[in-house]
Amino acid sequence: MNNAQSAAAFEFEGVTKIFGSVTANSDVSFSVESGTIHGVVGENGAGKSTIMKILYGMYHPDGGTILVQGKPVRFKSSHDAISLGIGMVHQHFMLVPTLTVWQNVVLGMEPKKWNLNRNNSITELNNIKCQFGFQVDLHARISDLTVGQQQQVEILKLLYRKAEILILDEPTAVLTPQEVDVLLERLKNLRDLGKTVVFISHKLREILSFTENVTIMRHGKVVETLPTSGLTESSLAEKMVGRKLRALPVRKPVDTARSPRLSIDNLCVEKDGQAKLSNVSFDVRPGEIIGIAGVDGNGQHELVQVLMNVARDYEGKVLLDGKPLRECRTYELKQKGLAVVPPDRLKEAVVTDFCIRENYILGHHWEKEFVSHGTFQMPKIQAAVKSALETFDVRPREPEWPMSGLSGGNQQKVVLAREFARPVELLVAAQPTRGVDIGAIEFIHARFIQKRDEGASIVLVSTELEEILQLSDRILVLYEGKIQGQCLRKDATEEKLGLWMTGGQQ
Amino acid sequence: MIELLASTLRLATPLIFAAMGGLFCERAGVATICLEGVMLTGAWAAATATYFTQDPYIGICAGLVAGVLTMWLHALLAVQSKADAIVSGVAVNLFATGITPLLNKIFFGGTANTPSLSLDQRLSNVPIPGLEQIPFLGPLLFDQPFLIYLGLLTPFAVAYVIYRTAFGLRILAAGDGPKALATAGVSPTRVRWMAFAVGGALASLGGTYLAISHASQFTRDMTAGRGYIALTALIFGKWKPVPTLFACLFFGFFDALQIRLQSSSIGGFSVPVQFIQMLPYVAALVLLAGFIGRAEPPLAIGKDDR
């Protein structure tokens, strides 16, 4: 490593940021070497995004100094940051869905004001695409692109603006494992071309696998900045959470003598003439967790839709306690003890514009405990929500707080609090920890085990192998709509499951 | 038949201007039901200025100023103060129906109308050399006040601005993804104020045309719902300039037809004139309800995080 490379791309010196009564960042100091990939880890609410938004000029620091290329800077807005070569990809993409890729990229920095010469921009963008190895159709509409492709567009936007420092806020949270690999390769490539990449994440494995240095944050402060090599997942997790992680509780063995609660026999689902699920059969007993592993898009979506009783157009039998599921009304199932954690939290599990209280009673809003004579019993509802927030450690503990103002982990906890408020017979959970920080994952997993031990049947659909291996009693792997393989937890290895996930046989 | 076409053109022109004005505002992400009010103040200002100066071109300028100011009132409420755009639009319409007779009373002593303009004070016809020589067709279609030609050209100019300029791209972004626009370093509020200026100016031309070209004076509530028809045409044209032009021509045609049919009778039974007059509106309803499929408005319309 020569001198030019080891120079700091930017540096924070005692930066503090206060929102009202909350100190989001206090006395944050660290520096990032030019031409490296630098990880910033911490739980949700640790202040990682805030400090980076300060660097991007979106927030103004209340104290401290920021140095870019060794010179102190004061940004009035993101505009100033952009002109100094700093770019940021936000967790929620900032793209206009109805416009095309090239239009989104040039927006705000159009080459000619009165004649947006398509061809000029296209040539320039094609050059950038070639140089950095991007593959995305410049004429495609954003709304037609996958999430991974949209992320490419966001990075393309930064490169078009000649960004030298690229900040990515939780870039892998929304991606499938394959897309993550592509992204990581791309970022390494950018680093090799001399760019500085700041990677905000709470996925430790990613941080360990490809960053040079990592800054660990907790409660708005920097715990430590150190080289990544030599760190292990557990040492990093401990520094991040500030304590040793609890091991999952020892669980009761599955009582194989009990008859299955959920029984699926030759389930077939077709969509647009394509078989999405073919001849899927499995049983779930009380007190058992069935893990459904597989690469996203191999029939998990359809299976979950059937189990949530949303999709009713299928062949085969799905029986809950011996009764066909689709003959039941969904509210009857809820009363019988069906709990659901849908894969897309924001679309299927909560109403983001509602507050916590409203989301908490959603689906049970007609029940006697909340309603009398056609009106809500506010004091009762308030009390129920408050105690649920306490039990599930949701922050803030404010029933009137808007759902959209919660972190992913806290949103998911509200969903769990609602679903677990009544006795659970069957829990269908899909991607329950997607976009959720370590502390919350630990919490959610412990709750699942607790429900299992209380006798609930659980179907856990997840693309995270680690999660499947930790929680399941039995594991099924879906590949192209078929069960490619199944085994008991004790016989499962990552290699074996990985083979099944890609269509291999044993 | 040619007379009917010429009449279609004359009746479509105010709709085209108003709809193009509305297009700018709505594509920038703000519902704009106040086209009616903007046309009305434009019409009054144009008629009044023309009466005092004897010059219809000064009248047009006065109409533009009034139109921009009226639309900016909507901007002040709906863009700057983030009031509900529908409520703000209704307020602007009510304001216009009130302020025009009031000003008229102050200037001319009566609320009903401005003094009528003599023929040479109105916008004169501008024959297009060559084309106006065509027998029958020529004098009817190519010997018209210039606002009619301008009306026909405007949608193409609007299409260029919207689809091919940086300003247009920013308007589209303000309408479909204001947050993305803001992170790209451009203020959606600013873009909307500018879009409203253009929109107000265009919509005012619709009123101006009515007052000093189509008629010879401003009369109270003379726009008679044309602002709403223009809005319908805009939806019918799916917020796209050229399809909207055709929608305006379509409504203009039904309006012309309605006027022709007023004196007609079916088998000796004379149809009440009120029924005939309903024709353009019935056409609008039928089309919106049944034929155009789903029209997707700009995404930011009706969102409070504008």
Mean pLDDT for A243-262 is: 81
Cα B234 to Cα B22: distance, rounded to the nearest angstrom? 7
Question: Which residues of chain B does A103 touch, with a Cβ-Cβ cutoff of 8 Å?
Answer: 169, 172
pLDDT at B222: 93
Structure tokens at A255: 């009582």
Residue whose entry in the numeric block shows the structure tokens 């709990």:
A339
As to burial, measured by CB atoms within 10 angstroms (0-12 exposed, 13-18 middle, 19+ buried), residue B120 is exposed
| Residue of higher predicted confidence among B257 and B171 | B171
B304 lies in some domain: no
Structure tokens at A278: 């073919």
| Residue of higher predicted confidence among B306 and A434 | A434
| Residue of higher predicted confidence among A113 and B196 | B196
Whether the CB-CB separation of A291 and A448 falls below 8 Å is answered with no
Interface of chain A against chain B, CB under 8 Å? 77-79, 82, 90, 94-99, 103-104, 106-110, 112-116, 157
DSSP 3-state assignment of A372? Answer: strand
For residue A116, is pLDDT > 80?
A: no
HSE value, Cβ hemisphere, 13 Å, CA-based, for A88:
25
**Cα angle for residues A221, A226, A228 (degrees, 5° grid):** 120
pLDDT band at A314 (very low <50, low <70, confident <90, very high): very high
Mean pLDDT for B124-139 is: 77
Which has the closest alpha carbon to A392: A329, A436, A458, A430? A436
Closest-approach residue (CA) in chain A for B177: A96
- Stretch (H or E) spanning A277: strand A274-284
Cα B230 to Cα B213: distance, rounded to the nearest angstrom? 19
The count of structural domains within chain B is 1
| Other beta carbons less than 10 A from residue B155's beta carbon | 23
Q: What is the CATH number of domain A8-241?
A: 3.40.50.300
Question: Which residues of chain B does A139 touch, with a Cβ-Cβ cutoff of 8 Å?
Answer: none
The region, left, alpha or beta by phi > 0 then psi within -120 to 50, assigned to residue B103 is: alpha
pLDDT band at A132 (very low <50, low <70, confident <90, very high): confident
Whether the CB-CB separation of B231 and B148 falls below 8 Å is answered with no
Closest-approach residue (CA) in chain B for A83: B185
Residue by residue, what is the 3-state secondary structure of A75-128?
A: CCCHHHHHHCCEEEECCCCCCCCCCEHHHHHHCCCCCCCCCCCHHHHHHHHHHH
pLDDT at B201: 97
Residue B293 DSSP class: -
**Cα angle for residues A332, A336, A342 (degrees, 5° grid):** 80
B301 lies in some domain: no
CB nearest A113 (choices: B165, B181, B184): B165
Question: Which residues of chain A does B185 touch, with a Cβ-Cβ cutoff of 8 Å?
Answer: 77-79, 82, 108-109
Q: How does pLDDT run across B230-281, given as a tens digit for each residue?
A: 999 998 899 999 999 999 999 999 889 888 887 776 666 777 888 888 887 7
| Residue of higher predicted confidence among A10 and A245 | A10
Cα A407 to Cα B290: distance, rounded to the nearest angstrom? 44
Percent of chain B with pLDDT over 70: 95
H runs (alpha helix) in A283-429: 300-307, 330-336, 356-361, 378-391, 408-419
- Stretch (H or E) spanning A38: strand A37-41
Q: Could you list the residue range(s) of the whole structural domain that residue B59 is in? A: 2-113+126-291
B21 lies in some domain: yes
pLDDT at B10: 92
How does the average pLDDT of chain B come out, rounded?
89
CB nearest A97 (choices: B166, B169, B176): B176
Mean pLDDT for A269-285 is: 91
Contact flag B184-A107 (C-beta cutoff 8 Å): yes
Mean pLDDT for A247-266 is: 85
pLDDT at A360: 94
pLDDT at B137: 72
Mean pLDDT for B132-155 is: 84
The correct CATH number of A286-312+325-501 out of 3.40.1190.10, 3.40.50.720, 3.30.590.10, 3.40.50.300 is 3.40.50.300
Angle at which helices B2-27 and B166-176 cross, to 10°: 70
B300 lies in some domain: no
Residue by residue, what is the 3-state secondary structure of A50-81?
A: HHHHHHCCCCCCCEEEEEECCEEECCCCHHHH
CB nearest A79 (choices: B164, B165, B185): B185
Mean pLDDT for A360-382 is: 89
B296 lies in some domain: no
Mutate to test the interface with B, among A58, A96, A106, A353 (most CBs of B within 10 A): A96
Chain A / chain B CB contacts < 8 angstroms: 65
- Stretch (H or E) spanning A436: none
For residue A5, is pLDDT > 50?
A: no
pLDDT at A110: 86
Q: Which of A119-123, A370-374, B178-182, B230-234 has the lowest mean pLDDT?
A: A119-123
Q: How does pLDDT run across B81-112, given as a tens digit for each residue?
A: 989 999 999 999 999 999 999 999 999 998 88
Whether the CB-CB separation of B123 and B63 falls below 8 Å is answered with no
pLDDT at A88: 92
CATH (domain of B193): 1.10.3470
Percent of chain A with pLDDT over 70: 97
Question: What residue type is assigned to position B152 of the chain?
Answer: L
Q: How does pLDDT run across A81-99, given as a tens digit for each residue?
A: 988 999 999 888 899 999 9
As to burial, measured by CB atoms within 10 angstroms (0-12 exposed, 13-18 middle, 19+ buried), residue A317 is middle
pLDDT at B291: 62
Cα A437 to Cα A449: distance, rounded to the nearest angstrom? 18
**What's chain B's length in residues?**
306
DSSP 3-state assignment of A155? Answer: helix
CB nearest A113 (choices: B166, B176, B181): B166
pLDDT band at B132 (very low <50, low <70, confident <90, very high): confident
pLDDT at A24: 86
HSE value, Cβ hemisphere, 13 Å, CA-based, for B172:
25
For residue B134, is pLDDT > 80?
A: no
CB nearest B185 (choices: A78, A90, A115): A78
Q: How does pLDDT run across A448-474, given as a tens digit for each residue?
A: 999 999 999 999 999 888 889 899 999
B59 lies in some domain: yes
pLDDT band at A177 (very low <50, low <70, confident <90, very high): low
pLDDT at B53: 93
Mean pLDDT for B113-126 is: 86
Within the 173-202 window of chain B, which residues sit less than 8 Å (CB to CB) from chain A? 173, 176-177, 179-181, 183-186
CA separation (Å) from A320 to A94, A328, A486?
43, 10, 21
pLDDT at B281: 79
pLDDT band at A153 (very low <50, low <70, confident <90, very high): very high
Whether the CB-CB separation of A427 and A419 falls below 8 Å is answered with yes
As to burial, measured by CB atoms within 10 angstroms (0-12 exposed, 13-18 middle, 19+ buried), residue A168 is buried
Mutate to test the interface with A, among B164, B169, B172 (most CBs of A within 10 A): B169
Cα A462 to Cα A470: distance, rounded to the nearest angstrom? 12
Radius of gyration of chain B (CA): 19
For residue B129, is pLDDT > 70?
A: yes
Measured between CA atoms, how close is B7 to chain A, in angstroms? 36
Q: How does pLDDT run across A194-251, given as a tens digit for each residue?
A: 999 999 987 788 889 889 999 999 888 999 999 998 888 888 888 888 877 777 667 8
Question: What residue type is assigned to position A420 of the chain?
Answer: F
| Residue of higher predicted confidence among B279 and A483 | A483
Buried b (16+ CB within 10 A) or exposed e, A248-273: eeeeeebeeeeebbbbbeebebeeee
Structure tokens at A71: 């010179």
Whether the CB-CB separation of A318 and A307 falls below 8 Å is answered with yes
Interface predicted TM-score (ipTM) over 0.90: no
Q: How does pLDDT run across B8-62, given as a tens digit for each residue?
A: 999 999 999 999 999 999 999 999 999 999 999 999 999 999 999 999 999 999 9
For residue A42, is pLDDT > 90?
A: no
H runs (alpha helix) in B28-145: 35-53, 56-74, 85-108, 137-141
For residue B304, is pLDDT > 60?
A: no
Question: Which residues of chain B does A116 touch, with a Cβ-Cβ cutoff of 8 Å?
Answer: 164-166, 168-169
Whether the CB-CB separation of A289 and A461 falls below 8 Å is answered with no
Contact flag A103-B169 (C-beta cutoff 8 Å): yes
For residue A41, is pLDDT > 80?
A: yes
Cα B306 to Cα A386: distance, rounded to the nearest angstrom? 33
Mean pLDDT for B146-153 is: 92
Whether the CB-CB separation of A32 and A56 falls below 8 Å is answered with no
